[in-house]
Amino acid sequence: MMAINLSQNAGLDIRSRLQFSQPSQPTPSQFLNSAFSHCNLSSQSEDVPMSQDCVNLPICTQPDVCTQDYLCTPDYITPAEQQYNNESNPQDHNGKHIRSPLPISPSRIKRTRRTGSVLNPENQSQFSQPDRAANPASTSGMTPGAEWGGFAKPEDKPPQMQRGTVRRNKSPPTFRNLWLYGPEERPAGRVPQPQAARYRSDFKEESILGQGNFCKVYRATSRNGGREYAIKRSAQPMASDAEKLQWLQEVQAMEALDPHVNIVRYYTSWMEEDKRGSMYTYIQMERCATSLGIKMSVLKEAFKEAELVEILRQMASALQYLHSIGMVHMDVKPDNIYTTVDGNSYKLGDFGLAMLVKNHTAAGRLQEGDARYIPQEVLNDDLSRLDKADMFALGATVYELATGTPLPTGGKTYHDLRQGKLALLTSFTAPFQKMLKSLMSPDPAERPSAEKVLASPLLVKKAHKESPAYGGLVFQPSSRA
């Protein structure tokens, strides 16, 4: 039989923990050896009778001896002094099974799993289940649901605390385009929401192109594409829902437009918050060179008749397209007419006051624009012919560029202009002055439409002539949208 070599200290420690078999009781191996030693299992002769000692074998009374112990060779592995009892005693070692390795191993403490997450840092002090191995008696006075982090059932936990759940950001609302699909009944509180900050990450700000009371326009270069754009940013943070909805109206107006050679092209728009939490709006548009208002007031440039005729023709083309889809601009003025980078064409921009018109009836509330370019009937709250109001503003714009003097904001001259009393322009031809007088007529019915302006002899015969009388310039509109 094999013996186990134990040191003196280790032997004392194990013997103090384990119970050994009684010396008077043989081990299963000793019992089998004594039983099979009296048997003759030789297969040489079938006639040899078995020994009487082998027939009268003692009956095994050991409860844990298996049948295979009678059929196999003697067990030479089990020590003579067996370490474990074959019978369990539930009273040994504080009620734990003697064969369990727990009493002879240090107390195992289960690693706690926190139920908190990055989304809920305040819940990180809670554990998914109590440490019963470290403190078994702590569960005696436990309240119902304490093993689930303070909740009665696992499914009662918030979604962000349940295992296997993923918190997804709520999608921003989608709005119906007024000009494409008609107005909608928008529920209260449904306004545009800020999106991920992208101005500094997607664009490199080069310079400022212009600014007004409500916005600033920057020249910015796309970091990925390398193309320059005009980024219109609100001058002040969006403090109310009305301001957000007004910005949304401008975005939807530009979104509804097809590319036109005489309208500033729109690309995309978004809202984002700065580091202080203030919300600003952004509109990405086609970059232009400068506005006619800057050329007149800052650069002090004098416009000749040929250039003014070309401005009149291209802006009439833009208004013809807008009126054909039921949209009125309501803010035509030199500050909103831009020259392209190549200088070959002019583009109409700034659709913040655009309105939808159906059957000569305006849908929505008219926003107050620049009073210097508003006709008298609109000032009297007559909104029946807003398309003719755009034609009055176009005539007032060309008249201001021809005089080189800003239009008055009040007084006698202000009212004279709305009565059709224009100053004589000695440097310009009679057909040109007649066109301006008809556009600024006090009666909306007498003002020509955009189609009639384009078909007038002034624009048809002299728009593309190269003549010293018209400044010696030839304007070829760009085919790029």
The candidate with the shortest Cα–Cα distance to 145, out of 166, 124, 126, is: 126
350 assigned to active site? no
Could you give the C-alpha distances from 14 to 76, 104, 137, 263, 381, in angstroms and in order?
Answer: 22, 9, 28, 95, 105
Tell the burial category of 393 from Cβ atoms under 10 Å away from its Cβ (0-12, 13-18, 19+): buried
Which entry of 331, 335, 350, 387 is annotated as an active-site residue?
331
| Element holding 376 (H helix, E strand) | helix 376-379
The single-letter code of the amino acid at 36 is F
Angle between helices 430-439 and 305-324 in degrees, nearest 10: 30
Helix (H, G, I), strand (E, B) or coil at 77: coil
Are the C-beta atoms of residues 70 and 32 closer than 8 Å to each other?
A: yes
Paired with 338 in beta bridges are 291, 347
Tokens 């398309």 sit on residue: 387
Q: How far is residue 264's CA from residue 472's CA, in Å, rounded to a whole number?
A: 27
Cα four-point dihedral sign 341, 346, 348, 350: positive
> Which parts of 302-385 fold into alpha helices (H)?
305-324, 376-379
Active site residues: 331
